[in-house]
Structure 1
Amino acid sequence: AVAAGPRPPLTVPRTVWPGVAATVRPAPKPEPRRIGPFTRGQWAGVVIVGGGGLLVAAALAVFFVRWFLSLDFMQDFLVTYPGEYHLPDTAPVGFPAWLGWQHFFNAFLMVLIIRTGLQVRTEKRPTVFWTPRGDKKGKTSLTIWLHQALDVLWLANGVIFVVLLFVSGQWMRIVPTSWEVFPNALSAVLQYISLDWPTENGWVNYNSIQQLAYFATVFIAAPLAALTGWRMGALWPKNATALNKAYPVEWARTLHFPVMIYFVAFIAVHVALVMSTGALRNLNHMYAAQGSVDPNAYADNWTGFWLFIASIVVTAGAWIAARPLVVAPVARLFGTVSGR
């Protein structure tokens, strides 16, 4: 039975008294701060263990591929497919100045698009909004407006690039013109893994893995990014029932982020290979439009390097400036900017 009233007094002298533990409880330890699914210590363990595992796997891959390429039939394969094939006789040699400008502007916009895209993905409660003048219901966050405005500039730059690519004949450098591109690409990949890298001169001809990578980036990944972004953006017709059913927004959301990951991976690998396969020569090709059929030419010319550094400074400045204080005055030229 449960006592209904106060406990009756003791009938014997009290000999036991409650200690400190009966009234004082230790404060619970605070939860460790997590970055994503793991704490900092756990992330350090993941990096150490995962990095060590990757290094061991990479070393094993290098040893295996070097042994594989030493076999007689693979030596014959490398002679037949050295990693590149001859371009058509009408293919241009070298890079025009407009291509260097396009390359810089594309990289500049791509970095800002990735930055704002990640902000859009992680932004929970926007503090600044943009509303078009003719559509009061089209209110959106200033971050989304900046992301879409950069997308428009990137698309315009891309259209100009593709038109000039075909007008000048430069398309033959990044569009495969022979089925030999595939065995040559396999040859180039094996040579890269073996650390005995293929000899190439980008001023004259890309190797086949470069050609396939540039083709996929320009003609597959870029259109996918544009189409999925358009589907999720404000310019998509909201009342087009049949069109919305044929192309659900869920498809676009599923594809858009992996395409961005592809661009990030492409940029990282691209920059790493540019720097490790003759940085001064490669930077002169793309930033200074200087090169020669001699692969060793311009190997000690610093013009392209300093232009590259200037482009990094400009891009870093834009990265820092991409915040409401700087973006809002520009956004007001096209609509109304307001707070929460």
Structure 2
Amino acid sequence: MSTSKNRSPRSRWRTLAWLVPAALVAVVAVVLLARWLRDLPAVSAFVADYPGTAPRPADAPEGIPAWLAWQHFFNAFFLVLLVRTGMLIRAGGRQQGHWQRRNTGPLRTKGKPAKISLNLWLHLAVDVLWVLTGISYVVMLLATGQWVRIVPTTWEVFPHAASALLQYASFDWPSSDGWSSYNALQQLAYFVTVFVAAPLSIITGLRMSPAWPKGAGGINRVVPIGVARALHFPVMLYFVAFVVVHVTLVLTTGARENLNHMFAASDDGGWLGVVLFAVSVALMVAAWVLAKPVFTGPVAALTGKVAR
């Protein structure tokens, strides 16, 4: 039985040759269906009653603070590295280096410090930074009241989200002001990403890591290793899909304004956000390229023993 690892490049190109047209046909079909639905009187009235943005609390903060813009960059930067290292780990193959802890600690196998690949070391190291960033992000959300941006406060968020989804699918974007608040579909997507997907990724990743306690029978039954392995990769695919859709909508629904909000924490209509976005993309591309044992080995050597 053949697998994706031993398929020839020609076979992969043949698969891509029919997948791309099929995807385009599916997109066109969805757009036509959405436009047809919006012409129906009942659906048109529904969209008019629920334009896409749910009511928000009267005391909700206005604007995007600078800390939120910085958090956005660091979360995205670490997520890119996590995806990159996760792909390297999943690809397997011959390891170009290993890392071993110098002193005692949780990374031990049969009383000896565990030896892990440099790809796994980088994945775990970046994961720690991503988790710390996420914790500070949630704390700041709660402390400043910005949590209302991504946490629904009314059940009306669901019909508004359905309306926004239909408007996006029909390529007739819902009107929204990202500086003040997100539309209902964005709010639900961010809520799921921050409070469901991220914790699930952390828990399943920790369950598979060498740092997980080996003798914790009770907690092991709560989070079985088989479940962790089955969920961790699909959660990563969710993050990839979220980023692709998120970036696409940011660039197609008013790129300069959106990027100025997200990266410059400003609503002045300037170009600083675009410049900062370009710099952040360059840094992410550089991190993607440099996430190799030949570059990460010297850094890993600062925290343990590295063997080629």
User: Taking structure 2 as the reference length, what is the TM-score of the superposition?
Assistant: 0.92
Structure 1 position 38, deviation (Å): 4.6
- Which of residues 133, 136, 151 in structure 2 aligns to 1:160? 136
Residue matched to 2:69: 100
- Which of residues 263, 269, 282 in structure 2 aligns to 1:313? 282
Kept in 1: contact 2:161–2:184 (CA 8 A) = yes
Kept in 1: contact 2:96–2:293 (CA 8 A) = no
Partners of 1:334 and 1:53 lie apart in 2 by 48
Unaligned 5+ runs, structure 1? 1-33, 292-296
* 1:14-93 map, 5 Å: 36=5, 38-93=7-62
Partners of 2:275 and 2:260 lie apart in 1 by 10
- Which of residues 160, 164, 187 in structure 2 aligns to 1:184? 160
Mean CA deviation greater in 309-318 or 281-290? 309-318
- Which of residues 50, 68, 80 in structure 2 aligns to 1:111? 80
Matched, 1:325 2:301: no
Matched, 1:271 2:243: no
3-state SS of paired residue (1:336): strand
Q: Deviations over 1:27-83 (max 9, x none)?
A: xxxxxxx96465444433333333223323322322222122112222211111001
- Which of residues 289, 293, 304 in structure 1 aligns to 2:273? 304
Partners of 1:213 and 1:120 lie apart in 2 by 28
Matched, 1:143 2:143: no
Matched, 1:208 2:208: no
Structure 1 position 142, deviation (Å): 1.3
Partners of 2:207 and 2:303 lie apart in 1 by 22
Partners of 2:305 and 2:76 lie apart in 1 by 29
Length, aligned pairs only: 299
Mean CA deviation greater in 261-270 or 243-252? 243-252
Residue matched to 1:131: 100
What amino acid is the match of 2:234? P
Kept in 1: contact 2:98–2:117 (CA 8 A) = yes
Higher relative contact order (CA 8 A, sep 6+): 2
Partners of 2:275 and 2:282 lie apart in 1 by 11
Structure 1 position 139, deviation (Å): 1.4
Residue matched to 2:171: 195
Kept in 1: contact 2:56–2:148 (CA 8 A) = yes
Structure 1 position 96, deviation (Å): 0.3
* 1:219-234 map, 5 Å: 219-234=195-210
User: What is the CA RMSD across the aligned residues, in angstroms?
Assistant: 1.7
Partners of 1:162 and 1:284 lie apart in 2 by 22
Matched, 1:175 2:144: no
Q: Deviations over 1:77-107 (max 9, x none)?
A: 1111001122101111110000111000111
Distance 1:39 1:326, change over 3 A: closer
Mean CA deviation greater in 176-185 or 64-73? 64-73
Partners of 1:246 and 1:312 lie apart in 2 by 39
Unaligned 5+ runs, structure 2? 105-111
Residue matched to 2:238: 262
User: Taking structure 1 as the reference length, what is the TM-score of the superposition?
Assistant: 0.84
Partners of 2:131 and 2:172 lie apart in 1 by 38
Partners of 2:280 and 2:31 lie apart in 1 by 35
Percent identity over the alignment is 48
Kept in 1: contact 2:82–2:127 (CA 8 A) = yes
